[in-house]
Structure 1
Amino acid sequence: MKRSVRRILSLVLLGTLVFLLISACTQHGSQTSTESESKQVATDCRVVKHARGEACIPLNPKRIVTLDFNSFAAALALDVEPIATWITTEIEDDFDYFNTQSREVEILRSPTGQPNLEKLVALSPDLIVTISHSAFEAVYQYLPSIAPTVILPWEEITGDWEQQTEELARILEKSDVLTQKMYDYHQRISELKQQLTQEQEIKTSFMFVATGQLVLARENSFAGAILKELDILNPLFEGSGDLDLTISEEVLPEVDSDVIFLASLQQGDRAVIDELRKDPLWSQLKAAEKDQVYIVDFSVWRGLNFFAAQRVLDDVSKYLLNTSET
Structure 2
Amino acid sequence: MIFTLVLACSNSFTQKVTNSNSKVQSTECRVVQHARGESCIPLNPKRIVTLDFNSFATVLALGIKPIATWVTTEIEDDFRYFQSKVDGIEILRSSSGQINLEKLVLLHPDLIIVISHPFFEGVYKYASQIAPTVVLPWIEHRGNWKQHIQDAAKVLERTEMATQIMNDYNRRVQEVKQLLVNKKRSLRISFAYVASGQLVITRKKSFAGGILDDIGLLNPIFEESRDKHLADLLISEELLPKIDSDILFVAPLRKGDRSIIKRLQQKPLWNKLKAVQQEQVYLVDFSVWRGLNILAAHEMLNDLSKYLVRTYA
With the shorter chain as reference, the TM-score category is: 0.7 to 0.9
Deviates further, 118-127 or 213-222:
118-127
1:31 aligns with: none
Distance 1:90 1:122 in 2: 22
1:218 aligns with: 203
Distance 2:96 2:135 in 1: 20
Distance 2:98 2:124 in 1: 11
1:145 aligns with: 129
Task: Give the letter for the 1:256 counterpart.
Answer: D
Q: Give the Å deviation of 1:198.
A: 3.3
Residues 46 and 56 in structure 1, CA contact (< 8 A), matched pair in contact too? yes
Q: Deviations over 1:42-97 (max 9, x none)?
A: 76111111111111111111111111101101101101111110114699962122
Distance 1:108 1:317 in 2: 34
1:297 aligns with: 285
Structure 1 residue aligned with 2:191, among 182, 198, 206?
206
Task: Give the letter for the 2:59 counterpart.
Answer: A
**Structure 1: gaps (5+ residues):** 1-37
Distance 1:206 1:111 in 2: 28
Q: Give the Å deviation of 1:142.
A: 1.1
Q: Give the Å deviation of 1:188.
A: 1.4
Q: Give the Å deviation of 1:158.
A: 0.8
Residues 219 and 237 in structure 1, CA contact (< 8 A), matched pair in contact too? no
2:234 aligns with: 246
1:272 counterpart = 2:260: yes
Q: Which has the larger radius of gyration?
A: 1
Residues 76 and 86 in structure 2, CA contact (< 8 A), matched pair in contact too? no
Residues 196 and 321 in structure 1, CA contact (< 8 A), matched pair in contact too? no
2:155 aligns with: 171
Distance 1:53 1:114 in 2: 24
Structure 1 residue aligned with 2:165, among 159, 181, 188?
181
Residues 91 and 265 in structure 1, CA contact (< 8 A), matched pair in contact too? no
Q: SS state of the match for residue 322, structure 1?
A: helix
Q: Give the Å deviation of 1:41.
A: 5.4
1:94 counterpart = 2:78: yes
Q: TM-score, normalising length from structure 1?
A: 0.83
Q: Deviations over 1:130-155 (max 9, x none)?
A: 00111122222111110010000111
Residues 211 and 266 in structure 1, CA contact (< 8 A), matched pair in contact too? no
1:314 counterpart = 2:302: yes
Q: Give the Å deviation of 1:104.
A: 1.2
Aligned pair count?
Answer: 285
Distance 1:95 1:192 in 2: 23
1:32 aligns with: none
Q: SS state of the match for residue 304, structure 1?
A: coil
Residues 126 and 147 in structure 1, CA contact (< 8 A), matched pair in contact too? yes
Residue pairs, 1:1-326, within 5 angstroms: 44-88=28-72, 94-199=78-183, 200-238=185-223, 240-322=228-310
Task: Give the letter for the 1:144 counterpart.
Answer: S
Q: Give the Å deviation of 1:290.
A: 1.0
Q: Deviations over 1:107-139 (max 9, x none)?
A: 122234342211111111111000011112222
Residues 86 and 109 in structure 1, CA contact (< 8 A), matched pair in contact too? yes
Distance 1:42-1:105 versus aligned 2 partners, 3 A rule = closer
Q: Give the Å deviation of 1:308.
A: 0.5
Q: TM-score, normalising length from structure 2?
A: 0.86
Q: SS state of the match for residue 64, structure 2?
A: coil
Q: How many percent of aligned residue pairs carry the same amino acid? A: 58
Q: Deviations over 1:219-256 (max 9, x none)?
A: 11000011111111112144532200001111101111
Distance 1:99 1:142 in 2: 31
Q: Give the Å deviation of 1:194.
A: 2.4
Q: Give the Å deviation of 1:179.
A: 0.7
2:9 aligns with: none
